[in-house]
């Protein structure tokens, strides 16, 4: 998974890529449902602040992802360090993907 910050490149931010191509759209669906925001507003360069998503809604998103993917998202993830949704989805997606690899192993 590689995410490049728009601050570094000046280029448009894109969603991270994972081995499972359905992972990102499923995460985005859950973000939309849990934070009650329009799915169309969920763009890679959007931030939680600009979307008006508060800390409890972030908790609801993470809990929703754990339930949907039957995964455990650990406390030490630095979700607050994400500059935008692309980075946030990158951190969450990596944790979910890693959890699934561990289950398979």
Partner 1 sequence: MTAVAITGMGVVSAAGLDLDTFTESLLSGRSAVGDFVLPRLANNRRRQAACIKHLNGTDRFSARDLASCDRFSVLALLAAAQALGACGLEPDLIASTRTAVVIGTGVGGATTIDDGHHALYVDQRRLDPLTIARLMPSAAAAQISARWGCRGTVFAVSSACASAAQAIGVGMGMIRTGQADRVIVGGSEASLTPAGFRSWEAMRVLTDTKCRPFSCNRDGMVLGEGAAIFVLEDRKAARARRAPIVANLLGYGTSSDAKDLVRPDPVGAALAIELALQDAALDRRFIGHVNAHGTGTRLNDTAEAAALTMVFGDHLGALPVSATKPIHGHALGAAGAIELVAAIVALQASVAPPTLNFTTADPDCRLRVSAERQTVELPIAMSNSFAFGGINASLIVAHPDWS
User: In the complex, which residues of this chain contact partner 1 (CB under 8 A)?
Assistant: 54-56, 59, 62-63, 72, 74-77, 80
Alpha-carbon separation of residue 84 from 30, 79, 88, 94 (angstroms):
17, 10, 6, 16
Closest CB to partner 1 among 4 and 36?
36
Q: How far is the CB of 35 from partner 1 (least distance, A)?
A: 15
Closest CB to partner 1 among 38 and 76?
76
Q: Is 56 helix (H, G, I), strand (E, B) or coil?
A: helix
Scanning 20-84, the segments in alpha helix (DSSP H) are 23-35, 48-51, 55-69
Q: How far is the CB of 16 from partner 1 (least distance, A)?
A: 22
Q: How far is the CB of 83 from partner 1 (least distance, A)?
A: 16
Cα–Cα dist 10/105, whole Å: 40
């Amino acid at each position: 998974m590689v995410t490049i910050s728009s601050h570094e490149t000046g280029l448009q931010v894109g969603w991270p890529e994972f081995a499972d191509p359905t992972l990102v759209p499923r995460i985005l669906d859950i973000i939309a449902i849990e934070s009650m925001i329009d799915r169309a507003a969920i763009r890679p360069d959007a931030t939680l602040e600009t979307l008006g998503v508060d800390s409890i809604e972030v908790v609801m998103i993470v809990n929703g992802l754990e339930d949907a993917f039957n995964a455990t998202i650990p406390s030490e993830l630095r979700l607050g360090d994400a500059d935008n949704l692309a980075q946030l989805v990158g951190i969450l997606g990596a944790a979910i993907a890693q959890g699934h690899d561990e289950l398979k192993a």
